[in-house]
Every structure is written in structure tokens, then in C-alpha cells.
Chain A
Amino acid sequence: MVFMPIVEKYRSKVQEVVLGATRAQGGTRDFTVTVGGEAALPFLHYEGQIPHRPLIGMEIWDTAPADWPACFAPYFADSFRDPAVWAQRCVSGYGADLVVLHLKSADPDLLDTSPEHCAAVVSKVLNAVGCPLVVLGCGKPEKDNLVLPAVAEAAAGENLLLGLAEQNNYKSLTAAAIVYKHTLIAQSPIDINICKQLNILITEMNLPAGRIVIDPTTAALGYGLEYGYSIMERVRIGALQGDAMLSMPMIGNIGAEVWRTREATAPAEENPGWGEQHDRGILWEATTAAALLQAGLDIVVLRHPEAVRLIRQNITELMGGRGV
């Protein structure tokens, strides 16, 4: 018998989404990046065009994190207190494609900083780096509904990737994204139907599908990663089969999930059988990311510079594909 490679034919492809805006486009970024556009399952280059490699975003906070494990100190201890310095370190020191700024200080139970303060932090980080910026609220919907529109206005025209829009709380953020020309993260709780529904609701408000990035929600390795993995696989298959409301690129907030698990953080003394924390923590994050890349993840958000290095290498290897 002669083996004939099996090449799937798909009806459609993933939506391309541009992040950031240069001066000519109304922003201040040195460059924009494009994500999505895949016409095949992850890294199967013989099956269809994969025009853009997945991007790596590095997560920073606008306040020094009290609960990040000690293994981050050698990389960031001197920059934790200044998000502008922290952002620069991620980009020029560790090669992040994107900076993901988490406005933690706005949390009413933390510092409860004002929307104006948050907008000023965003401007400061925009001044510090030339790459496109992702901005996440504090996670408390009532507060974020005050903070994120203020951020959107202050950074008008920058085409930030703003989040999070959720099924029960998407209107004010969507309106802000439309008025001030930003792109939106639509988050659904590991549920493909809600994922689709939310995209319908947002596009019905007239934000184009090409300005939405899906966050299907991910869990860390060992804590239900397989659920997120399967949802992402199904979303991607849906996109390739022509479901426009599942066709947006996907983002995964991996670092935040991984670095609260015991497997990533516990010192060797606590569980001697698990080995040294150093490699274990880095690999817990890199493994979670590598698995989700195989499910179709387009933007990987990480914390540890060594995990960033490993995943960059992995993406480079996977983008260097050949035919069969």
C-alpha cells in the first residue's frame, strides 16, 4: 500500500486580530502584532496556513505582589514596586511580546485605588514600553466597570487588549472598547455555549468580531487543565468548521493559575518526593502552557522568565514545520 497523507479540509479559519496601534494609526506603539488567522489545527503546517505564531505575554501588577513565591525575586525584586520598570524588564530582559498589566491595586479589598490612578498607571506603562499592552481589571465587576472605562478613555486609540468582559458584565466594557478603539477579552467559565453566547452579545453591540479575543478560562496543570484543554480544542475545531462566533483567537491567563498551586510553589522539604521547587515551578507553568498550545491557544500569559524562555523555544520549534 502507498501511504497518502491525510489532510483535513476546513471551511474557515481563525479570525485575525491586531493588537496595539502605532502613531500613524492613532496610538503610540512602536509596532502592532497580529494574532490568529490559523487555517489548520495547531502547528499542522501541511494542512493550512498558520500565518502568525502564538504570542507570549508577561504578567505584571500595578502593586508589589505579596504572594508571589521567592523564586521571582532574582528576576523582579527591584522592579516589583514600579510597573514601568517591571514592564521594561519583561520586554527587553525576557523577550515578552506583550505586557499584561493587572490592575490589582484597584481591588476594594486591597488598595482600592481610583480609576484616575489606574488610568495614570496604564499611561506610565505605555510610555515605558513600545509593545502592545493588555490591561486586566482587578476582577471585581462593580469596580472594574468604573476603572476600565477610565483606562479606555485615557488610552484612547492605543488599541489595548482590555479585559475582562463576562456574560453578566460586558456592556460598559464593550461600549468603552467601541468608543475609544480597543480590543476586548471575552471570558467564559470553561463553557463553550457561554463562550459563543458572549461573542454574539458583544458583536450585537457592534464591536466587530475582529476586535475580540476569547478567554475560555484555564485551570492549572493538575487542577482541571484537561477541561480547559478540551474546551479550547472544541472552540478551535468550531472555528475551522466555520462557526464565526467561535472563530476568535484565544488567550490563557496561565501564570496566575499555576503560581497559586502547591506543586508550583511548595519547597522540597514539604514534599520531598516531588523534587526541587525551582524546576518544578517553572515546568508547572511551561507544561500548562505547552499543553494549551496544542489545543489552539494563541496568547500565552506567563509569569516566570524561565517558563517564557522554554515556551518561546517550543513555539519556535513548532513553527518550523515541514510537510508530510
Chain B
Amino acid sequence: MGLTGLEIYKLLPKTNTGDCGFPTCLAFAMAVAAGKINQEKCPHLSPEARETLEAAAAPPMRLVRIGPEQTPVLVGNETELFRHDKRFNNQCAIAVEVADTEDMPAFLQDFSALTFERVGQRYSVDLAALRCTSGDAGRFREAAVLLRNSAGKPLVLISEDVSIMAAALPVLVGDRPLLCAATPQNYRDMTELAQKNGCPLVVRAKSLTELSDLTEKIVRLGHRELLLDSGSRETAAVLADLTQLRRAAVRKRYQPFAYPAMAFASATEPLAEIVQSIVFLSKYASLIVLKARQPAQVLPLLTWRANLYSDPQKPIQVEPKVVAVGAVSPASPVYVTTNFSLTFFIVESEVANSKIPAYILPVNTEGTSVLTSWAAGKLTGAAIYKALQENGLESRVNHKTLVLPGYVAVLSGSTQEATGWKVLVGPREASGIAKFARENFR
């Protein structure tokens, strides 16, 4: 509920009939605001008050499901403008577009390579988007079937021609593709088609005013599985519109815009398409359609998505606990670093890259980097000794050699003294770990 008790009170009849079970309208309003009771318990609510209260009770942005019931792609349900306030909820979906006049097998081959392994996580594009450029319903349907059978992801169907869309849907029963798009010209028929087939629908207009108007008309027809496309294609205009749509939904609970918004990358060059998509991903798209489809182009976009949608509450420190990378054995090397997340992640990534299983021991430096913690006296021989003891390294490995970050080579002597372990000075930059590991531990 976005309204306060007093705001709700103003909408009530203020007659204190007690029919709701509360002695006064004010007491009832307070209970509604606290979410303890539904406004429907008041039998004397005016239709306008009911509409306002229902709108306020609805989530600021609807959750929309694209694709089969069992394995849908979820978009929307966002409640924030800035990730530092609270974690964003549903990752922006990435759709790769192909025209029905293109070489489909070539597309499918590229598309299937757009799943990535990185730092133990799996990133993947979410949707295949088919655009009808042929103007031929038969060809569009044929391409849709091919994608449905081989792409392994839900579909977006792009055509404003209702007859072309209608011809493709009978072969996609239960697939619930996203239909793109309903416009002021075709919305009656397109909405009916979407409803009949249980499909989510893109609402497309030429301005935010027109979009607001069109969304209301479609909702009045009874369809609410909607995504919003303001029609803008220039980078700055898309940014402006996406920002307005998100603010309207989250700050104003403006009902016509209480749906996830989407954007199309419009640059002609794939690299520029990715840079443009970074803007839309950062500022408020819930779905992006682009044509770039080489792994080297798509991986940076998916990596930023994973970063952006991560939990901002996650501290910038990692737990100062030993981490095993790969299939470690008692003979595996031990790398010492600090518990500053950024330092730890880069060391972890490089140790994994070295393909030589190892332990990483993040010393508790209160989340400061190697040089900073050394300068502040937090990374010392004694601190390393404490970390070795607390993590029971002596019982995990059958040797007594540790690798010290190259930047703190000066700590070699004191560390050797404090720990009784032999010290190997490692590379300064984590990027040197693979080479260092090959030379020392193969």
C-alpha cells in the first residue's frame, strides 16, 4: 500500500457507521494502511475511492511472463530507481533479433553460442526475436516454427500486421510468445489475438502521451500482460522515456505505466548496439531487443546485467575464510590476499584461469586492498599467521609454503618469522598469477 492512513481516511465516507468492524473510519483507514485489512470491508466505499485504493494496493510495476507456463522469462515487478536503495528484482531480458528473410540456420548456430560461463556463473540471452520483413505470412510462420523447435528460448514475434501474426500463432500453441506490437491502428484486433492465445503483448506508440492513452484502452479490453514501447529509437530519447516510465510507475503509481518497459537497439554497427544497450540496461529497460549476436559482443552486456542486478547490500568485503579453487589436494599452493572483494575476485578469477588448483586465503584487512592494508598495518606477518591458524591451513596442506602478493614483498621476512612458513613472492598484479603458477607449481 502506497498511501498513508490519513490519505486513505480522506477517501472514506467518514460516517463512522462501524459496518467494517472498526469503531471509526479513521481506525479503519489506519488498519488498511498497515495492510491488516482490505478496503473492501467498507460497504460504503465510492467507486472512485475503490479505484484509487486498488491502484495504490497494486505493485508499482506488473510482473509479466513471456514463454511457456513452465519455463517463462519473468520481467518487471521493479520497485526502485537506484540499485543502492534496494536490489532490482528481475533481470532485464535480452532478445536477439533475426528477420524472417535471413539465413535461419546461421542465426540458430550463432544464437546457440550465446550462453557463457564466467566466475562460476552462467549467463545467457533469454529470447529469440523474429521480425517479419518478408511481408509473407507463410514465410514468417515457417521461420517461427524453426525458431520454436531449435532456439530453445521463448520467442518475440515482431509485426504490426495482425493477419501475419494470426497466421503464425496456431503453430505456437502454449508457447506464449511476446507479440510485438499493438499500435493505435491495430490494437483492437492485436489485443484480441493476444488474449485468445494467452500471449503477452507489447504496446507501442509514438509518444508517452499516446502510449498512456493506448495502454488504458487495451487494459479496458481486459488485457494486462503488457510491455511498453514508447516508440523512441534515438539513444537520448529512449533514455528519457525509460526514465519517465520507471518514475511514473514507481514514484507516482501511474496506472497506465505500471508495466515493464522495453527498448530496441538502433545502431547499425554491432559494437555500437552493445554500448547503446548498456544505456538502456542501466536506465530502466526490462527487455532489450538487439541484433548483435557474436559471443564477444554479447558477453560484456550480460556481465553488466549480472553486476547491475546484484545485491547492493552485499558488503565490499568477502568473508575472511579460505577458499579452494578447483580440485585441491594437500599439495596445492596457498595464495595470500586480502578480503577486499575486488581484490579477492580478481585473484580468484586468475587462480581459476591458471588451471592449477589452489587455496586462496583472504586475510581480514577490513575490506582494504593489498597496498592500502599494508600501509595501514592491517596486512602483517602476524595477521597472516592468525589467518593461517583460524582457517586450519596446516591440516589442509602437507607443505608450509605460502604465496605473498608481489606488492608486499617487503613483508617476506616478517611473515616467515611470524608464521614459520616459507614465503614465495608472487606477481604484483593478479594477471601474472597464471604464469607464476606454471613456473612454480607445475
Cβ proximity bits A25-59 to B, threshold 8 Å, 1 near / 0 not: 00000000000000001011110000000000000
Q: Does B247 contact A (CB under 8 A)?
A: yes
Stretch touching chain A among B33-41, B100-108, B229-237: B229-237
- Point out the residue from B236, B271, B345 that lies within 8 Å of A322, measured CB to CB: B236
Q: Is the beta-carbon distance between B296 and A313 smaller than 8 angstroms?
A: no
Q: Is the beta-carbon distance between B118 and A43 smaller than 8 angstroms?
A: no
A270 to B342, CA, bound (A): 23
- Of all chain B residues, the one with the shortest Cβ separation from A285 is B300
Chain A residues in 8 Å Cβ range of B350: 262
Q: Number of A residues contacting the other chain (C-beta, 8 Å)?
A: 65
Q: Is the beta-carbon distance between A3 and B275 smaller than 8 angstroms?
A: no
The total of interchain contacts (Cβ-Cβ below 8 angstroms) comes to 196
Q: Is the beta-carbon distance between B84 and A233 smaller than 8 angstroms?
A: yes
Q: Does B272 contact A (CB under 8 A)?
A: yes
- Point out the residue from B237, B296, B316 that lies within 8 Å of A279, measured CB to CB: B296
Q: Does A92 contact B (CB under 8 A)?
A: no
Q: A226-B310, A265-B431 are in contact. Are A273 and B304 (CB under 8 A)?
A: no
Cβ proximity bits B10-53 to A, threshold 8 Å, 1 near / 0 not: 00000000000000000000000000000000000000000000
Q: Does A87 contact B (CB under 8 A)?
A: no
Chain B residues in 8 Å Cβ range of A286: 271, 274-275, 300
A304 to B241, CA, bound (A): 32
- Point out the residue from A44, A226, A280 that lies within 8 Å of B307, measured CB to CB: A226
Cβ proximity bits B231-263 to A, threshold 8 Å, 1 near / 0 not: 000111101110110011001101111000000
Q: Is the beta-carbon distance between A5 and B244 smaller than 8 angstroms?
A: yes
Q: Does B416 contact A (CB under 8 A)?
A: no
Q: Does A189 contact B (CB under 8 A)?
A: yes
Q: Is the beta-carbon distance between A314 and B276 smaller than 8 angstroms?
A: yes
Q: Does B172 contact A (CB under 8 A)?
A: no
B409 to nearest A CB, angstroms?
A: 9
Chain B interface bracket (under 10, 10 to 19, 20 to 34, 35 or more): 35 or more
Q: Does B328 contact A (CB under 8 A)?
A: no
Q: Is the beta-carbon distance between B275 and A6 smaller than 8 angstroms?
A: no
Q: A224-B345, A273-B295 are in contact. Are A310 and B275 (CB under 8 A)?
A: yes
Q: Does A274 contact B (CB under 8 A)?
A: yes
Instruction: List chain B positions with a Cβ less than 8 A from chain A.
Output: 82-84, 113, 115-119, 208-209, 211-212, 216, 234-237, 239-241, 243-244, 247-248, 251-252, 254-257, 270-272, 274-276, 278-279, 282-283, 294-297, 299-301, 303-304, 306-308, 310, 312, 316, 341-342, 345-346, 349-350, 353, 368-369, 372, 375, 429-431
Rank and list the top 5 A-B pairs by shortest CB-CB distance, nearest first. Answer: A275-B296, A275-B295, A321-B236, A280-B296, A317-B235
Instruction: List chain A positions with a Cβ less than 8 A from chain B.
Output: 1-3, 5-6, 41, 43-46, 67, 141, 168, 189-190, 219, 221-227, 229-230, 233-234, 237, 260-263, 265-266, 270, 273-280, 282-284, 286-287, 290-291, 294-295, 306, 310-311, 313-314, 317-324
